[in-house]
Amino acid sequence: MTLMLLDSASLWYRAYFGMPDTLVSPSGLPVNAIRGYLDMTSRLLVKYKPDRLVACLEGDWRPSWRVELFPDYKLNRLDDEGDEEEPDTLGPQIPILLDVIDALGIAMVGVDDYEADDLMATFSVKQQGPIRIVTGDRDLFQLADDKRDVKIVYLAKGISNHDLVDLKWIAEKYQIPGDRYALFAMIRGDSSDGLPGIRGIGEKGAANIANQFTTLSEVMQAAREGDERLTPNIRKKLLESADYAAIAPKLVSCALDVAIPEMQIMIPKQPKSMKKIEDLKNEYGLGASIDRIISALGWT
């Protein structure tokens, strides 16, 4: 009874940049993100054969509680109007894609003031495994859990050459214990989210610390006490970033307690509205992409 969780924004961004912008509807509207999302999902459904499926959405891509903790959170992604920067021809496609997902009857959820990451994290601890989390975002590596069979379908190399991330993969990739990815990420930082990490400590230094400690509070205590596992230079950098270190665990860790509404997450036996699907298919020229997702869902 595999559960597949789709990091929807990550997928439609990858679809948009991975599919040609010559894919347009009969009226000339670009549909490359819509078709790419559907095609990617179809291929993953065929490969992993999940019984349960949820398209997870951003209730808020910059939650107020994270911004209160760290005002610069994702500040680098704001446009002049204070919204998330996105290509002009991507935004109009998203409501259409959501209409397609709804017509298919696939469970879809976003929760106010939480990111999709937080929803997927909550599902990953509250639902039975196996769980496969589909994303292009390495932040979600922190959710890998061999005991509960939670793995990350990591799309950085594309659908056909993606990685299936478990604790062994993390250990081999970063040379750290696989279950300490969150600690490693807190120290290293993430420029794409505007997170500085511990200033002056890069990936190699973060890995060295993660090999010797299990939590950031333990690391900071060691720094304050002059623990010899940390060099004087590393201790100095940690203490200089003490304010950031105090908020990093809540800021960087995915929330595990989102109040997700009750919903049916089993893949339906038939679409919610075949007429609506056909209408959308014809209006936006979604052709083979609709046919593929219907086949992948087992409705043919």
Structural class in CATH, domain 3-175+256-296: alpha beta
Residue 167 has pLDDT above 90, yes or no: yes
Question: How confident is residue 161, by pLDDT bands cut at 50, 70 and 90?
Answer: confident
Q: What is the pLDDT of residues 255-277, one digit of tens each?
A: 999 999 999 999 999 999 999 99
Average pLDDT over residues 57-65: 94
Residue 27 has pLDDT above 80, yes or no: yes
Residue 116 has pLDDT above 80, yes or no: yes
Average pLDDT over residues 155-176: 92
Residue 84 has pLDDT above 90, yes or no: no
For residue 156, the model assigns a pLDDT of 85
- Percent over 90 (pLDDT), the chain: 88
Q: Please give the angle made by the CA atoms of 205, 208 and 212, to the nearest 5 degrees.
A: 140
| Mean pLDDT taken over the chain | 94
Scored b (16 or more CB within 10 A) or e, 113-129 reads ebbbbbbbbbbbeebeb
Residue 62 has pLDDT above 80, yes or no: yes
Which among 77, 97, 117, 112 is positioned nearest to 36, based on CA atoms?
A: 97
For residue 277, the model assigns a pLDDT of 96
Per DSSP, 291 falls in state H
Cα 269 to chain centroid, rounded: 27
> Domain 178-252, what architecture?
Orthogonal Bundle (1.10)
d(CA 130, CA 2): 5
For residue 39, the model assigns a pLDDT of 96
Residue 150 has pLDDT above 80, yes or no: yes
Average pLDDT over residues 132-136: 96
For residue 160, the model assigns a pLDDT of 80
Residue 155 has pLDDT above 90, yes or no: yes
For residue 85, the model assigns a pLDDT of 79
Parse the chain into domains and list their residue ranges: 3-175+256-296, 178-252
Residue 162 has pLDDT above 80, yes or no: yes
Q: What is the pLDDT of residues 187-207, one digit of tens each?
A: 999 988 889 999 999 999 999
Residue 86 has pLDDT above 90, yes or no: no
Average pLDDT over residues 73-102: 88
